[in-house]
């Protein structure tokens, strides 16, 4: 069996962390099994769906590196839905209803007031048409047998269909709701595994009966725990965290994907530069049922780890012209975002202001000026200079290294000084040591 998964966003906005995670897990599962990852644009809601949002979805997936093997659009498939709708209707599995939303809401309140579940009360025969009203349509659930499946994340699942309302599948204006077209697509496209959030569990129970009514074997199901904000509460802000914010922050897509691939699993979160290793280790057996806590601070940490080992070739198109491969290999270890590299231009190539140091540190640097002038800068000037200064002055640790770093870079922290010193060069280093010493 060839594994086929699908990601099915509605084109109503850009991708956020929740649906990015769903797309990623479908992609990784298919990749691990040498299968196919499909993109299905769920644009049956014509009022909310826009061409701009669909284009944004394609662009966001491309930026993330999640390239689908094929793309289908539900708005191109209405003839297929119509055909299967009529087949189910002829079989008695679909029936017309004429209640208004207000009437249904009132009935739910009455049932709740009686302590009863607010389930749609199916008529014994056909619903009586109401003059002046077009019907909406419901799928008739089979109440004879319990609905059950072995979920790849949640284990054994059981639903009593008598406790579920017959779902509305088509509105009075003829437009489609999600449930039935999705099943028809999954059958037609040969989807073997459906991976989505646990908020779809009850939908899956209903859809399993739709697969059966259409004479199809249902896909395997995996319902993952939902993402929650870092503080443990469901957060509307998670809906705003996505590709747009990632790009504004200057973050690498693999920083986000490295976190989302392992979040909520027993596996350690690691900064991965490519999707391949994440796919090779992807297994639903590692997933837990507790909510997965998402924190942008973790993405930032992973981003820094990725940059600290990022090859020049992976960054060169985003680097300013003055940064060559040697310069990048030195500066990348101090960066949290690629854009920060330009903040080091003056340190490496230009002039910096002399730091305000204590008198004893200025005296120490006066000694350093003499020794630096005598040091061979063709090999390892930093260690040669610091070893000599340590022997001459007795300074070590912070008292030895901090004044030198401040004099040479104007900063208390940054890349390793040995390679950075070679980038700065002898002439510029001597001038900075003299200025910091007050000479």
Q: How far apart are CA 282 and CA 285, in angstroms?
A: 9
The kind and range of the H/E element at 294 are strand 292-294
Q: Which residues are annotated as a binding site for ATP?
A: 236
Q: How far apart are CA 5 and CA 195, in angstroms?
A: 8
With beta carbons less than 8 A apart as the criterion, state whether 430 and 373 touch: yes
Q: How many residues does the chain have?
A: 439
What token pair was written down for 252?
A: 């690498």
Q: Could you tell me what percentage of the chain is helix, strand and coil, using 3-state DSSP and rounding each to the nearest 5?
A: 50, 15, 35
* CA 331, chain centre distance (Å): 27
* CA 262, chain centre distance (Å): 11
SS (H, E, C) 410-432: CCCCCCCHHHHHHHHCHHHHHHH
For the chain, first and last CA: distance in Å?
78
CA distances from 177 to 16, 139, 183, 229 (A): 22, 12, 11, 30
Sign, CA torsion 47/52/53/54? positive
- CB-CB neighbours of 50 under 10 Å: 14
Bridge-based pairing of strands 94-97 and 136-139 is antiparallel
Q: 């595994």: which residue's tokens?
A: 193
- CB-CB neighbours of 65 under 10 Å: 13
The kind and range of the H/E element at 167 are none
E-assigned strand segments in 361-401: none
Exposed, middle or buried, 19 (CB in 10 Å: 0-12/13-18/19+)? buried
With beta carbons less than 8 A apart as the criterion, state whether 202 and 219 touch: no
With beta carbons less than 8 A apart as the criterion, state whether 32 and 64 touch: no
Q: Which residues are annotated as a binding site?
A: 236
């Amino acid at each position: 069996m060839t594994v086929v998964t699908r990601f099915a966003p509605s084109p109503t906005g850009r991708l956020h962390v929740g649906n990015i995670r769903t797309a990623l897990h479908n992609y990784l599962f298919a990749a691990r099994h040498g299968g196919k990852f499909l993109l299905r644009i769920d644009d049956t809601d014509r009022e909310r769906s826009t061409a701009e949002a669909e284009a944004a979805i394609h662009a966001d997936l491309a930026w993330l590196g999640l390239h689908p093997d094929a793309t289908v659009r539900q708005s191109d498939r209405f003839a297929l839905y119509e055909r299967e709708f009529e087949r189910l209707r002829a079989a008695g599995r679909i029936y017309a209803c004429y209640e208004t939303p207000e009437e249904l809401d009132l009935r739910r309140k009455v049932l709740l007031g009686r302590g009863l579940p607010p389930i749609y009360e199916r008529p014994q025969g056909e619903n009586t048409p109401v003059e002046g009203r077009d019907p909406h349509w419901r799928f008739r659930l089979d109440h004879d047998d319990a609905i059950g499946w072995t979920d790849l994340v949640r284990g054994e699942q059981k639903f009593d269909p008598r406790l579920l309302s017959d779902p509305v599948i088509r509105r009075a204006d003829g437009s489609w709701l999600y449930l039935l077209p999705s099943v028809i697509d999954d059958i037609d496209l040969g989807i073997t595994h459906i991976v989505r959030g646990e908020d779809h569990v009850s939908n899956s129970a209903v859809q399993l009966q739709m697969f059966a009514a259409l004479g199809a074997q249902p896909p395997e199901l995996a319902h993952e725990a939902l993402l929650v904000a870092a503080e443990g509460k469901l957060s509307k802000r998670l809906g705003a965290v996505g590709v747009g914010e990632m790009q504004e922050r200057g973050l690498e897509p693999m920083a986000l994907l490295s976190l989302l691939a392992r979040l909520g699993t027993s596996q350690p979160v690691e900064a991965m530069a490519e999707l391949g290793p994440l796919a090779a280790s992807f297994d639903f057996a590692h997933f837990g049922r507790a909510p997965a806590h998402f924190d942008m601070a973790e993405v930032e940490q992973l981003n820094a780890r990725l940059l600290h080992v990022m090859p020049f070739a992976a960054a060169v198109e985003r680097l300013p012209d003055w940064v060559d491969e040697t310069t990048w290999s030195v500066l990348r270890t101090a960066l949290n975002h690629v854009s920060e590299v330009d903040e080091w231009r003056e340190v490496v190539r230009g002039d910096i202001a002399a730091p305000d140091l204590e008198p004893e540190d200025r005296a120490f640097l006066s000694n350093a000026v003499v020794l630096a002038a005598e040091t061979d800068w063709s090999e390892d000037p930093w260690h040669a200079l610091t070893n000599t200064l340590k022997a001459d002055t007795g300074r070590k640790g912070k008292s030895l290294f901090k004044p030198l770093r401040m004099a040479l870079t104007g900063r208390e922290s940054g890349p390793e000084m040995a390679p950075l010193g070679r980038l700065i060069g002898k002439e510029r280093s001597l001038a900075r040591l003299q200025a910091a010493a007050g000479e």
